């Protein structure tokens, strides 16, 4: 049995990261941390799907440039999104000519891609590897729910799919000014019988608690050993349930846990119901905001727990329950 | 730059494999190699989507049992399928309580999952890891094309989505009677402007040739060094194009190359147009037929090149071209 956290020996560094967002995200509290935005979230494209792919492409361009590298230095991309057949990711990366591995983890995709990219650097499958994830409000709404033109009202527990693409370049470096991935724990699916696709936070919270409690128990650490435990993206309802589940398991996370879906919008002034969701949420909050806190040493030792609801529009129509998963990566900054 | 084939040092063994298929596949020439089948391809479920998930679940059950192991010995699953949000895979695996990483590579998924499972064993992320992929004719038809009830005619170049799930259990073993994964080369996307979603073989053939030629060039090997080069799934049209492209590149593969999409059906007696496709095609042909040839030492040194067309129904409607990718794994049998 080897379900313990994987500890990286080579300290795979996060050499750079980029975040590209839409209009609503740019108006939110993390505005200054994002690299690029599109004022109409269209990125000068003629369909929402093409806009999402273009957003992915720009996030790649910025991240590789910020690392001071070229496409030909990149050996592998791990990436995914919410669109059917992960088409936004494929079309965003198709011209970059970098070996490509598509992942599907719903909103957990960014943490998963970060773990896999770090693993590929550790085991020398790649010298430099990329982690990337994206989502777009308008592609997700018409794919999962209703066309925007329909003007459908959302329920209070529903989350707002973030328009955003986040990208990180990983590689080996002896320089001490880069954060590094130190541990990775892939999640186990859980299904607590939630059927309400407008309350995915509730479906994902138990999976998130399961992964964190398993991590703490296997590693012998406590929540207080970390100065940040970021979940992404449970939203306001889901994060509260997650905190309560952890409390019941003997772990008080109130001091150090935050959720990317809560951080990205201002719930008071922006109409976002239970906060942000979508692969692009934790991808941009991590690549923009959290990376900044790490690089400026305001944070030195964090956990990022990506949470995904593994439903589809078809499974919802067939009245299936929602399985969920949470993948954990630990990221540290050198002293 | 590190885009050379990854050579496994630890010889990750394929301890067992399973193949579960539908009615049409069971009537085909590889019938005797499959472990289980469903006479109506419904697997006693009340929707095609639930049938595909159940087929995945049964393939897992059989593979783990054949390896003489239990679920709790499994540390990681790499798996994916064609359904939106890879829901068939998620629902097939959700009760198994094994850490789960979702992949999306369209019909290349099985070769990709085999490479990733071998990597996770090599770098000790997992002691035992599973590779799995599936597809179902009836879920794919209604998702990508038309509901079956519509009775739509297919074009001659179109491929028939295989109803099948294949699963392989990998792990370390000193026993010499298991095939092992010796090399892995992730693919680079290519897009040659094909827009016809009924001719995916033509879209995938250049990606397949690109990966193979890159592999031979980087490894210094020739096609004659292998006693089998299996592509999956280009079908009759695509495989012919692939052979011609390789010929132009100076590699004559006519003696040792076969395509899983050509092997699974009898084109003369079964109405399958250009042959089989879908993640389940190479998954079941490998897990059933090719594994048998390896274990009986009729083959000792093969390449499996999984080919995927990274389109979606939406990208087709938006008149986008079809990006394709091909992932390569080399599998050897001990002397």
pLDDT digits (tens, 9 = 90+) for A253-296: 999 999 999 999 999 999 999 999 999 999 999 999 999 999 99
Q: In 10 A of CB B155, how many CB atoms?
A: 11
- Measured CA to CA, the distance from residue B118 to residue B121 in angstroms comes to 5
Q: Which residues of A touch B120 (CB under 8 A)?
A: 119
Q: Can you read off the two tokens belonging to residue A314? A: 């078809």
- Which residue's entry shows tokens 């975040």? A19
- Measured CA to CA, the distance from residue A287 to residue A63 in angstroms comes to 9
- Measured CA to CA, the distance from residue A228 to residue A233 in angstroms comes to 15
Q: What's the pLDDT score for residue A2?
A: 61
- Give the 3-state secondary structure of B285-311: HHHHHHHHHHHCCCCCEEEEEEEEECC
Residues 266-295 of chain B with CB under 8 A from chain A are: none
A189 touches chain B (CB under 8 A): yes
Q: In 10 A of CB B227, how many CB atoms?
A: 14
Beta bridge partners, B21, equal B37, B164
- Measured CA to CA, the distance from residue A312 to residue B102 in angstroms comes to 14
Query: Which region, left, alpha or beta, applies to residue A247 given φ > 0 means left and ψ of -120 to 50 means alpha?
Result: alpha
Q: Which residues of A touch B311 (CB under 8 A)?
A: 85, 87
Is residue B1 pLDDT above 50, yes or no? no
Helix runs in B126-265, H state only: 137-144, 200-219, 235-248, 260-263
Q: Can you read off the two tokens belonging to residue B13? A: 């063994």
Q: What's the pLDDT score for residue A289?
A: 98
pTM for the full predicted model: 0.98
Is residue B154 pLDDT above 90, yes or no? no
Query: What is the separation of C-alpha B175 from the centre of its chain, rounded to a whole number of angstroms?
Result: 26
Please name the helix (run of DSSP H) or strand (run of DSSP E) that holds residue A57, with its range, or none. helix A48-66
Average pLDDT of the residues in A110-132: 97
- Which residue's entry shows tokens 């593979």? B63
Helical packing angle, B109-122 and A109-122, nearest 10°: 60
Q: What's the pLDDT score for residue A1?
A: 43
- Measured CA to CA, the distance from residue B333 to residue B335 in angstroms comes to 6
Is residue B43 pLDDT above 60, yes or no? yes
Residue-wise burial string across B180-195, b where 16 or more C-beta atoms lie within 10 A, e elsewhere:
bbbbbbbbbbbbeebe
Average pLDDT of the residues in B289-312: 97
Give the gap in angstroms from C-alpha A58 to the nearest C-alpha of chain B.
18
Residue-wise burial string across A43-76, b where 16 or more C-beta atoms lie within 10 A, e elsewhere:
beeebbbbbbbbbbbbbbbbbbeebebeeebbbb
Task: Kindly determine whether residue A103 and residue B104, on different chains, have CB atoms separated by under 8 Å.
Answer: yes
Residue of B75, B120, B310 with shortest CB distance to A90:
B310
Q: What's the pLDDT score for residue B2?
A: 61
Contacts of B233 (CB under 8 A, 6+ apart): B107, B159, B162, B259, B260, B261, B275, B276, B277, B278, B281, B282, B307
Nearest 10 degrees: Cα torsion A169, B308, B218, B206: -120
Give the gap in angstroms from C-alpha B252 to the nearest C-alpha of chain A.
25
Average pLDDT of the residues in A231-252: 96
Dump strand ranges (E) for A106-163: 128-135, 160-161
Residue of B3, B91, B105 with shortest CB distance to A320:
B91
B82 touches chain A (CB under 8 A): yes
- Measured CA to CA, the distance from residue B165 to residue A304 in angstroms comes to 33
Give the gap in angstroms from C-alpha A106 to the nearest C-alpha of chain B.
8
Give the Å distances, CA to CA, from B257 to B237, B303, B305, B334: 14, 9, 11, 21
- Measured CA to CA, the distance from residue A65 to residue A323 in angstroms comes to 38
- Measured CA to CA, the distance from residue B169 to residue B173 in angstroms comes to 12
Is residue B15 pLDDT above 80, yes or no? yes
Please name the helix (run of DSSP H) or strand (run of DSSP E) that holds residue A55, with its range, or none. helix A48-66
A69 touches chain B (CB under 8 A): no
Residue-wise burial string across B256-281, b where 16 or more C-beta atoms lie within 10 A, e elsewhere:
bbbbbbbbbbeeeebebbbbbbbbbb
For testing contact with chain B, the best of A52, A60, A99 (most B CBs within 10 A): A99
Residues 246-265 of chain B with CB under 8 A from chain A are: none
Asked if the ipTM is above 0.95, the reply is yes
Residue of B nearest to A125 (CA): B6
Q: What is the pLDDT of residues B158-184, one digit of tens each?
A: 999 999 999 999 999 999 999 999 999
Q: Which residues of B touch A97 (CB under 8 A)?
A: 188-189
Q: Which residues of B touch A98 (CB under 8 A)?
A: 188
Give the Å distances, CA to CA, from A78 to A16, A62, A147, B246: 15, 17, 30, 28
- Measured CA to CA, the distance from residue A134 to residue A104 in angstroms comes to 11
By three-state DSSP, how is residue B15 classified? strand
Average pLDDT of the residues in B255-284: 96
Average pLDDT of the residues in B310-329: 96
- Which residue's entry shows tokens 């990180």? A168
Task: Kindly determine whether residue B127 and residue A1, on different chains, have CB atoms separated by under 8 Å.
Answer: yes
**CA angle, corner A241, sides to A325 and A182, nearest 5?**
50
By three-state DSSP, how is residue A23 classified? helix
B10 touches chain A (CB under 8 A): no
Average pLDDT of the residues in B185-204: 93
Given a contact cutoff of 8 angstroms between Cβ atoms, the answer to whether B245 and B209 are in contact is yes
Give the gap in angstroms from C-alpha B180 to the nearest C-alpha of chain A.
18
By three-state DSSP, how is residue A207 classified? helix
B112 touches chain A (CB under 8 A): yes
Q: Can you read off the two tokens belonging to residue B263? A: 């092997």
B172 touches chain A (CB under 8 A): no
Is residue B267 pLDDT above 50, yes or no? yes
Residues 122-161 of chain A with CB under 8 A from chain B are: 122-127, 143
DSSP letter assigned to residue A289: I
Residue pairs between chains A and B whose CB atoms are closer than 8 Å: 167
Torsion angles phi and psi, residue A79, rounded to 5: -155, 160
Residue of A nearest to B191 (CA): A94
Is residue B286 pLDDT above 90, yes or no? yes
Q: Which residues of A touch B143 (CB under 8 A)?
A: 314
Average pLDDT of the residues in B18-30: 98
B317 touches chain A (CB under 8 A): no
């Amino acid at each position: 049995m080897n379900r313990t956290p994987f500890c990286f020996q080579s300290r795979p560094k996060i050499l750079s990261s980029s975040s590209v967002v839409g209009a609503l995200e740019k108006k939110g509290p993390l505005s200054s941390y994002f690299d690029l935005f599109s004022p109409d979230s269209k990125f000068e494209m003629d369909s929402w799907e093409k806009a999402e792919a273009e957003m992915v492409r720009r996030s790649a361009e910025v991240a590789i440039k910020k690392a001071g590298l070229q496409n030909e230095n990149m050996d592998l991309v791990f990436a995914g999104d919410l669109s059917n057949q992960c088409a936004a990711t494929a079309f965003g990366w198709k011209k970059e000519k970098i070996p490509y591995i598509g992942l599907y983890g719903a909103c957990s995709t960014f943490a998963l891609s970060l773990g896999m990219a770090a693993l590929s650097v550790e085991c020398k499958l790649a010298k430099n590897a990329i982690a990337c994830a994206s989502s777009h409000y308008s592609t997700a709404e018409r794919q999962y729910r209703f066309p925007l033109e329909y003007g459908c009202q959302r329920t209070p527990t529903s989350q707002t799919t973030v328009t955003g693409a986040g990208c990180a370049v990983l590689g080996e470096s002896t320089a001490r000014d880069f954060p590094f991935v130190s541990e990775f724990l892939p999640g186990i699916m859980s299904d607590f019988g939630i059927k309400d696709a407008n309350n995915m936070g509730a479906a994902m919270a138990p999976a998130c608690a399961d992964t964190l409690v398993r991590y703490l128990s296997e590693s012998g650490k406590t929540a207080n050993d970390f100065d940040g435990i970021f979940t992404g993206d449970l939203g306001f309802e889901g994060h509260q349930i997650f905190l309560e589940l952890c409390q019941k398991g003997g772990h008080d996370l109130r001091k150090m846990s935050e959720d990317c879906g809560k951080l990205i919008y201002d719930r008071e002034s922006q109409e976002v119901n239970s906060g942000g969701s979508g692969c692009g949420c934790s991808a941009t909050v991590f690549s923009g905001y959290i990376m900044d806190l790490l690089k400026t040493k305001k944070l030195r030792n964090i956990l990022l727990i990506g949470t995904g609801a593994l439903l589809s529009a078809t499974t919802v129509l067939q009245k299936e329950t929602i399985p969920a998963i949470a993948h954990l990566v630990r990221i540290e900054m050198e002293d």
